[in-house]
Amino acid sequence: MFHKEGFRIIIFAFISAAVIVLCADYFITIEWLKIALQFLALTMLVLVLQFFRNPKRTPLEDHSNIIAPVDGKVVIIEEVHESEYFKDKRLQVSVFMSPLNVHVTRYPLSGKILLSKYHPGKYLVAWHPKSSTLNERTTIVIDHEKYGSVLYRQIAGAVAKRIVNYATKDEKAIQGHDAGFIKFGSRVDLFLPLGTPLNIELNEKVKGGVTIISES
């Protein structure tokens, strides 16, 4: 199963791979060169299919917890000053996605969407400390009945060139459901109330819509 955001690229990749394979077979007489070009075309097709995969996962929809919004590795757990919305200290949990991870963004919890804002910006590597405030990004704030306001931020990386965000202000976010997509490498930050108990550790690999970040 593939994400809808990849349909056009997947079709283009299929056509390109087919053209390269057929043209190489017809026009190139040097055997090793022909095989190399065909192998490269098919490899690129497989990478595109792998990147836009969207595995079916049953949403948790449990109001007592916060779940991972994306697949990846936990690279930051620390208290920081969140200057855009809260303007006070929050507990930041950041998940880095490599190009090999599933890049679907899922709502980490249910509630009313208080803010959904796009920010143009730079394309620093996603693990750079300033990427959260300088890179192209979206900021989404959800009001939860137990945790209060929780902010998550989709952040473009050095390779990511498009962030897709489905969150709309005043609409309802449903935990675990599709909230967007970030194309080609990125990071998602969660900003939680101080003192929020965590079920994850630094460098732990998490799965979007499945791994429980916090359970109250």
Nearest alpha-carbon partner for 59 in 106, 116, 121: 106
Q: In what order do the strands lie in the sheet with 178-183?
A: 104-106, 178-183, 162-165
Q: Are 130 and 143 in contact (CB under 8 A)?
A: no
Q: Is 186 a catalytic residue?
A: yes
Catalytic residue among 64, 186, 214, 216: 186
Q: Is the Cα dihedral 40, 44, 50, 53 positive or negative?
A: negative
Q: At what angle do helices 31-51 and 7-27 cross, to 10 degrees?
A: 170
Sign of CA dihedral 60, 79, 158, 205: negative
- Confirm if 59 and 174 have CB atoms less than 8 A apart: yes
Q: What angle do CA 76, 133, 206 make, to 5 degrees?
A: 30
Catalytic center residues = 186
